């Protein structure tokens, strides 16, 4: 077992700059003492305090369980739909309730299962694969999880009050804005926006995790393929989710305050929603697909007993798909009457994306052919998934052709296509992943026998359900209908689909039983039960909470195959950080390309702050849905206070010493700031997402310009706007410039300049924000009257909100320095705040250029 | 030019991941330019039934420029890819392997971006009106 396939250890050992493990193991007594200190530092809280844990193993597990529970809920909704559609003219469900059910089915599967499950798996697996003890921001993961759980429960729970959203998972206005006045669509908009924020938080965590927490020596050409895929997916989230958040803001403003973004009578246009939704919605498909295929990329080499063939080609596929997937969104809008040339552009890109998608499948096949395949349940699911996915991919190429799509649009053919893609491309690989990675959870395997039963029930059930839908779609059966007339040729096909759905459900029932059945008498699996080559399988069975006993030096892509004795060396603490002398949780930070160690990062431990922060942030959204404004505001204030407490007590702490010996003769700093710190990168990445949302709003402005002759109106309804906007910009850019100076003064320890400059920067920002607000206010622009004033107000409010947050940050730095928690040397806060202000300056410049400048050139 | 000294220089070279995404970035910029040019042309200039006319020429120019840019990146990448004496699979823990790997992936991405850009540019060859 674990034979190094085709590798020459001598060659690997000779790599320049390479570090060898300790030649002699520390004495047994020392090893025990080290292990004890590590266990104490990483101890999982017991009893009811268990829920205050923030470690990636716990949060990842909860996340997975919650996402899977939502999946089962979504599945039950699907069964209700199939029961209703089994026979023509059925009255099992009312039309109204059916609308709620199909809306929730789609929304739950996409927002509460597919995306969160990838976050969950990543939080759980990524540190293990990279040889890190935890991700760099464990509390952020925990906050994201609690937000997700709360938001998801809220959205799903609405069904039991007959108050669920009914607008379809894509929520098209004007149906969702003018014809569905109930609370359901607000629940969708606010509840899911809240979850989208959690997804962005996870993306930040994952990007920084992949780039900065790899084991020393795990160069960019050696990192596990899973990490490549996840890096791409997290990057996609940054650019895909924010446009939807921008759209949510527009739609909620229309529903709540009657700002007419999608109302044609007052200059709005429902098509803008479709653009914003699908700029999110199409990349979303790949955000779901790539992490699942990433699991396949980890399993295939294990069972082929050989390294992946075409590692570089797979990286090409992941990165290439990530980009191309953003050029596909209009293929959901082929029938909206856009010019033929626009359709053609998107059709061309939709065909092009088939290339990288195909490349990775060929790599998998080549690897399986090159190796000696070992039969296993996970591999069975991989094969089944690939077969189903290829069929879905082929119908995808069909519907990417405009003329065919005109015929198939909004029919069951599309339902069949998307389920083949998502179930084949995501659900089957995920189930394979469950079977494969399950031993990492409790140290025990799932049953092979039950696994095979599950597979055949799922595979047969799935095809019986969805294959006939191609036909019923081609025969003309529309989507999203709660019933149909008899004798149109749909009857038999629908009955077959419904029978298939219950076979499929039986498969999931067997699977759930396999996961939940008591395994007390079953022996623990042996370590590395599948004979894999990657680091996550260094875990003991059952695993210890420390993640990894000592952080190894990596020499190849499959360390367990390539590096002899690596398990022994890790276990005996012959590598980095084998101890926790100060009783703190620590992991290594390395450079992003070559993974050279540059810092020993202390990560925070258990806390209730994240749970309560999520609870009250959720309260802000949830109470606002019910128009309980004061309660919502109170909840928001509490959330704000808790988040400040969290930052104050838990982030950028000044260490008791400058450096620390991390083992193997290496001393690393405990504190780094600016672009060398993980927090700076987190801020940078977050602000990229923020700017993307802003770009979505600006896109809206120019969208209205293209469809109207008088947008912006000429002559301007507000001549005074120009001067006030310009003045506001000058003040705000002044505040930004001063913030940059203050950062330097702090660095030079010029206390007087620091304490004098920062309050002036605050004052300038407050004055600038007020001046921006005064612009449309003084001009008497009424956002309800027409889309132009609404757009101006929206851009101004967005900018002022960012200024307000910037002011809080400036105040925070002032307080930190006063309290002695920030100094000239330990200056993470002011560095990050300055970075934030760079983005605020950009936002201000664009807003003012658009509002005051564009009418001059239009 | 081989030898330990060169290896060290590659190791110290401040290499980053940005070059990898330049070619796909050019594809994205080309795509957005084509889309917004035709959208504005059809909405604001000639109307829904007007001819594409100069917009087709614009797409042709964008496409030539984009392909040239991708070509340059691809050429740089090809040189990095063939650095030193080793070939694929770039699976060892050395700076040279990492250097070749990044070149290789950049080269592949450039090829994909070129094909995708050509696909998008070709639309202007076949479609002549805003209809």
Nearest beta carbon to residue B91 from set A311, A341, A351: A311
Q: What is the pLDDT of residue A765?
A: 98
Express each pLDDT in B44-76 by its tens digit.
999 888 999 999 999 999 999 999 999 999 999
Two tokens, residue A232: 């791409």
Query: Is residue A147 pLDDT above 60, yes or no?
Result: yes
Cβ contact (<8 Å) for B108 and A316? yes
Mean pLDDT for A408-413 is 96
| Cβ-contact A214, A592 below 8 angstroms | no
Measured between alpha carbons, how far apart are the two ends of chain A, in Å?
Answer: 71
Report which of A137, A361, A122, A309 is spatially closest to residue A232, judged by C-alpha positions.
A122
Mean pLDDT for A161-178 is 94
Would you call A307 an interface residue with chain B, using a CB distance cutoff of 8 Å? yes
Express each pLDDT in A559-585 by its tens digit.
999 998 999 999 999 999 999 999 999
Cβ contact (<8 Å) for B101 and A342? no
| Residue A753 placed within a domain | yes
| Integer Cα distance of A802 and A769 in angstroms | 9
Report CA dihedral (A392, A397, A399, A402) to the nearest 10 degrees.
180
Complex prediction ipTM:
0.93
Mean pLDDT for A772-787 is 95
Residue of B nearest to A18 (CA): B93
Express each pLDDT in A199-223 by its tens digit.
999 999 999 999 999 999 999 999 9
Show residues of chain A in contact with B28, CB under 8 Å: 323, 326-327
- The domains of chain B are located at 19-126
Q: What is the pLDDT of residue A858?
A: 78
Which 176-215 residues of chain A touch chain B by CB within 8 A?
none
| Letter string b/e over residues B35-71, b meaning 16 or more CB atoms within 10 A of that residue's CB | bebbbebbbeebeeeeebeebbebbeebbeebbebbe
Nearest beta carbon to residue A593 from set B16, B42, B116: B16
Would you call A361 an interface residue with chain B, using a CB distance cutoff of 8 Å? no
Q: What is the pLDDT of residue A739?
A: 98
Q: What is the pLDDT of residue A477?
A: 97
| Residue A746 placed within a domain | yes
Query: Is residue B12 pLDDT above 90, yes or no?
Result: no
Query: Is residue A558 pLDDT above 70, yes or no?
Result: yes
Which CATH number does the domain housing residue A832 bear?
Answer: 1.20.120.80
Two tokens, residue A258: 């009657």
| Residue A18 placed within a domain | no
Is the N-terminal amide bond of A697 cis, ω within 30° of 0? no
Mean pLDDT for A40-55 is 96
Q: What is the pLDDT of residue A352?
A: 93
Alpha-carbon separation of residue A105 from A168, A176, A417, A474, A498 (angstroms): 9, 17, 17, 23, 16
| Cβ-contact A258, A181 below 8 angstroms | no
| Integer Cα distance of A321 and A232 in angstroms | 9
Measured between alpha carbons, how far apart are the two ends of chain B, in Å?
Answer: 59
Report which of A347, A190, A172, A175 is spatially closest to residue A275, judged by C-alpha positions.
A172
Higher pLDDT, A123 or A7: A123
Q: Where are the alpha helices (DSSP H) in A651-719?
A: 678-707
Mean pLDDT for A395-419 is 95
Q: What is the DSSP letter of A114?
A: I
Q: What is the pLDDT of residue A131?
A: 96
Two tokens, residue A857: 């050139």
Query: Is residue A63 pLDDT above 50, yes or no?
Result: yes
Nearest-Cα distance to chain A for B91, in Å, is: 6
Q: What is the DSSP letter of A172?
A: -
Express each pLDDT in A683-733 by its tens digit.
999 999 999 999 999 999 999 999 998 899 888 877 788 999 999 999 999
Q: What is the pLDDT of residue B97?
A: 87
Kindly indicate the confidence band of residue B82, based on its pLDDT and cuts at 50, 70 and 90.
confident
Query: Is residue A676 pLDDT above 50, yes or no?
Result: yes
pLDDT-above-90 percentage for chain A: 94
| Cβ-contact A104, A75 below 8 angstroms | no
Show residues of chain B in contact with A311, CB under 8 Å: 89-91
Give which of A16, A339, A591 to mutate to test B binding, by max B Cβ within 10 Å: A339
Q: Are strands A666-669 and A659-663 parallel, antiparallel or unpaired?
A: antiparallel
Show residues of chain A in contact with B101, CB under 8 Å: 220-221, 312
How many other CB atoms sit within 10 Å of the CB of residue A634?
15
Report which of A434, A560, A496, A542 is spatially closest to residue A121, judged by C-alpha positions.
A434
Cβ contact (<8 Å) for A220 and B101? yes
Q: Are strands A659-663 and A586-590 parallel, antiparallel or unpaired?
A: unpaired
| Interacting residues of B121 by C-beta distance below 8 A, sequence separation 6+ | B30, B34, B59, B60, B62, B63, B66, B67
| Integer Cα distance of B49 and B67 in angstroms | 30
Q: What is the pLDDT of residue B14?
A: 59
Alpha-carbon separation of residue A487 from A443, A495, A552, A802 (angstroms): 55, 13, 68, 59
- Chain centroid to Cα A47, Å, comes to 30
Mean pLDDT for A513-541 is 95
Alpha-carbon separation of residue A634 from A493, A529, A783 (angstroms): 54, 52, 27
| Integer Cα distance of A732 and A806 in angstroms | 11
Exposed (0-12), middle (13-18) or buried (19+): which is A219, by Cβ within 10 Å?
A: buried
Q: What is the pLDDT of residue A5?
A: 37
Kindly indicate the confidence band of residue B10, based on its pLDDT and cuts at 50, 70 and 90.
low
Mean pLDDT for B24-33 is 97
The interaxial angle of helices B22-40 and A340-352, nearest 10 deg, is 160
Show residues of chain B in contact with A210, CB under 8 Å: none
| Integer Cα distance of A216 and A551 in angstroms | 8
DSSP A744-774: HHHHTT-HHHHHHHHHHHHHHHHHHHHHHHH
A221: helix, strand or coil: coil
How many other CB atoms sit within 10 Å of the CB of residue A166?
24
Cβ contact (<8 Å) for B102 and A323? no
* Residue numbers of the domain that contains A743: 705-857
Show residues of chain A in contact with B113, CB under 8 Å: 320, 323
| Residue A426 placed within a domain | no
**What average pLDDT does the structure give for chain A?**
94
Query: Is residue A138 pLDDT above 90, yes or no?
Result: yes
Express each pLDDT in A790-804 by its tens digit.
999 999 999 999 999
| Integer Cα distance of A736 and A802 in angstroms | 12
Which 10-49 residues of chain B touch chain A by CB within 8 A?
11, 15-17, 20-21, 24-25, 27-28, 31, 34-35, 38-40, 42-44, 48
Query: Is residue A1 pLDDT above 60, yes or no?
Result: no
The count of structural domains within chain A is 1
Express each pLDDT in A229-246 by its tens digit.
999 999 999 999 999 999
Alpha-carbon separation of residue A342 from A312, A738, B36, B128 (angstroms): 33, 45, 9, 12
Cβ contact (<8 Å) for B123 and A348? yes
Cβ contact (<8 Å) for A556 and B94? no
Mean pLDDT for A652-675 is 95
Query: Is residue B8 pLDDT above 60, yes or no?
Result: no
Cβ contact (<8 Å) for B127 and A220? no
| Integer Cα distance of A553 and A563 in angstroms | 10
Q: What is the DSSP letter of A137?
A: -
The interaxial angle of helices A225-257 and A787-818, nearest 10 deg, is 120
Report which of A321, A340, A422, A368 is spatially closest to residue A117, judged by C-alpha positions.
A422
Q: What is the pLDDT of residue A7?
A: 35
Strand partners, A841: none
Residue count (chain B): 131
| Integer Cα distance of A221 and A228 in angstroms | 10
Mean pLDDT for A645-662 is 95
Alpha-carbon separation of residue A315 from A10, A208, A324, A748 (angstroms): 27, 18, 14, 44
Show residues of chain B in contact with A554, CB under 8 Å: 93
Would you call A106 an interface residue with chain B, using a CB distance cutoff of 8 Å? no
| Letter string b/e over residues A225-241, b meaning 16 or more CB atoms within 10 A of that residue's CB | bbbbbbbbbbbbbbbbb
Query: Is residue A412 pLDDT above 90, yes or no?
Result: yes
Q: What is the pLDDT of residue A353?
A: 92
Nearest-Cα distance to chain A for B103, in Å, is: 10
Query: Is residue A749 pLDDT above 60, yes or no?
Result: yes
- Chain centroid to Cα A683, Å, comes to 16
Q: What is the pLDDT of residue A341?
A: 92
| Residue A845 placed within a domain | yes
Would you call A102 an interface residue with chain B, using a CB distance cutoff of 8 Å? no
């Amino acid at each position: 077992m674990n034979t190094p396939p085709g590798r020459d250890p001598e060659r690997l050992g000779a790599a320049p700059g390479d570090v060898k493990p300790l030649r002699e193991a520390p004495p047994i007594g020392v090893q025990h003492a080290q292990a004890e200190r590590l266990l104490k530092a990483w101890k999982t809280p017991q009893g009811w305090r268990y829920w205050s844990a923030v470690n990636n193993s716990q949060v990842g597990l909860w996340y997975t369980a919650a996402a899977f529970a939502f999946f089962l809920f979504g599945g039950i909704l699907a069964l209700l739909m199939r029961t209703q559609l089994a026979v023509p003219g059925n009255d099992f469900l009312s039309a109204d309730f059916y609308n709620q059910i199909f809306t929730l089915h789609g929304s739950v599967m996409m927002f509460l299962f597919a995306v969160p499950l990838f976050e969950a798996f990543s939080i759980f697996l990524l540190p293990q694969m990279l040889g890190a003890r935890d991700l760099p921001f464990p509390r952020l993961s925990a906050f994201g999880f609690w937000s997700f759980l709360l938001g998801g429960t809220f959205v799903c729970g609405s069904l039991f009050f007959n108050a669920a959203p009914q607008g379809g998972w894509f929520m098209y206005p004007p149906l969702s804005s003018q014809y569905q006045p109930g609370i359901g669509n607000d629940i969708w908009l606010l509840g899911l926006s809240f979850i989208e924020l959690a997804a962005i938080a996870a993306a930040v965590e994952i990007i920084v995790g992949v780039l900065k927490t790899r084991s020393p020596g795990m160069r960019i050409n050696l990192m596990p393929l899973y990490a490549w895929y996840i890096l791409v997916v997290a990057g996609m989230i940054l650019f895909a989710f924010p446009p939807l958040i921008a759209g949510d803001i527009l739609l909620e403003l229309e529903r709540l305050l009657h700002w007419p973004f999608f109302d044609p009578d007052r200059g709005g246009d429902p098509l803008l929603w479709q653009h914003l939704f699908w700029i999110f919605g199409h990349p979303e498909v790949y955000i779901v697909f790539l992490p699942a295929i990433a699991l396949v990329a980890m399993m295939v080499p294990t069972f082929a007993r050989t390294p992946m063939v075409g590692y570089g080609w797979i990286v090409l596929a992941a990165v290439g798909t990530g980009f191309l997937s953003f050029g596909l969104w209009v293929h959901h809008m082929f029938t909206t009457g856009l010019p033929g040339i626009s359709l053609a552009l998107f059709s061309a890109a939709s065909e092009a994306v088939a290339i990288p998608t195909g490349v990775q499948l060929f790599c998998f096949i080549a690897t399986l052919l090159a190796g000696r395949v070992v039969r296993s349940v996970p591999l069975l699911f991989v094969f089944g998934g690939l077969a189903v996915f290829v069929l879905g991919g082929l119908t995808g190429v069909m519907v990417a052709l405009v003329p065919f799509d005109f015929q198939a649009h909004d029919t069951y053919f599309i339902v069949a296509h998307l389920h083949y893609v998502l179930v084949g491309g995501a659900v089957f690989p995920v189930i394979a992943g469950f079977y494969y990675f399950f031993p990492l959870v409790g140290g025990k395997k799932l049953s092979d026998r039950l696994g095979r039963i599950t597979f055949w029930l799922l595979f047969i059930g799935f095809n019986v359900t969805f294959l006939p839908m191609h036909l019923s779609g081609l025969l003309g059966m529309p989507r999203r209908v709660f019933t149909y007339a008899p004798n149109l040729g749909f009857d038999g096909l629908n009955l077959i689909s419904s029978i298939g759905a219950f076979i499929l459900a039986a498969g999931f029932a067997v699977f759930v039983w396999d996961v939940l059945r008591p395994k007390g008498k079953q022996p623990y699996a042996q370590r590395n039960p599948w004979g894999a080559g990657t680091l996550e399988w260094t875990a003991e069975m059952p695993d210890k909470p420390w993640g990894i006993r000592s952080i190894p030096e990596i020499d190849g892509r499959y360390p367990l195959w390539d590096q002899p004795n690596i398990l022994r060396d890790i276990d005996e603490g012959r590598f980095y950080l084998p101890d926790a002398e100060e009783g703190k949780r620590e992991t290594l930070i390395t450079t992003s390309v070559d993974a050279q160690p540059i810092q020993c990062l202390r990560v925070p431990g258990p806390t209730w702050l994240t749970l309560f922060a999520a609870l009250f942030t959720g309260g802000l959204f949830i109470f606002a849905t019910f128009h309980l404004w004061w309660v919502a505001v109170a909840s928001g204030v509490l959330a704000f206070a808790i988040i400040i407490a969290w930052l104050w007590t838990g982030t950028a702490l000044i260490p008791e010493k400058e450096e620390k010996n991390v083992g193997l003769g290496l001393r690393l700093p405990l504190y780094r700031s600016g672009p060398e710190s993980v927090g700076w990168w987190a801020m940078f990445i977050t602000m990229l997402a923020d700017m993307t949302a802003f770009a979505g709003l600006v896109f809206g402005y120019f969208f209205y310009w293209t469809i109207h002759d008088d947008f912006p109106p000429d002559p301007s309804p507000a001549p005074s706007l120009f001067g006030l906007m310009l003045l506001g910009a000058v003040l705000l850019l002044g505040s930004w410039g001063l913030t940059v100076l203050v950062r330097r003064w702090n660095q030079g320890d010029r206390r007087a300049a620091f304490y004098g400059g920062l309050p002036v920067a605050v004052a300038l920002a407050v004055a600038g924000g007020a001046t921006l607000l005064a612009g449309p206010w003084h001009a008497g622009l009424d956002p309800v009257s027409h889309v132009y004033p609404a757009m101006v107000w929206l851009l101004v409010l967005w900018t002022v909100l960012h200024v307000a947050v910037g002011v809080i940050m400036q105040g925070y730095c002032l307080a930190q320095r006063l309290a002695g928690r920030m100094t000239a040397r330990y200056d993470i806060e002011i560095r990050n705040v300055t970075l934030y202000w760079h983005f605020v300056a950009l936002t201000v410049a664009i807003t003012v250029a658009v509002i005051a400048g564009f009418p001059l050139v239009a | 030019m081989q030898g330990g000294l060169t290896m060290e220089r590659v190791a110290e070279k401040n290499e980053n991941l940005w070059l990898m995404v330049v070619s796909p970035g050019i594809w994205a910029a080309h795509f957005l330019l084509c889309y917004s040019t035709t959208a504005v042309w059809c909405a604001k200039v000639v109307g829904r039934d007007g001819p594409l006319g100069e917009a087709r020429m614009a797409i042709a120019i964008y496409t030539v420029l984009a392909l040239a840019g991708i070509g340059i990146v691809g050429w740089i990448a090809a040189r990095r890819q063939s650095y030193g004496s080793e070939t694929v699979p770039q699976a060892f823990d050395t700076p040279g392997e990492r250097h070749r790997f990044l070149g290789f992936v950049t080269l592949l991405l450039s090829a994909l971006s070129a094909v995708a850009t050509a696909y998008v540019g070709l639309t202007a060859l076949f479609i002549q009106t805003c209809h």
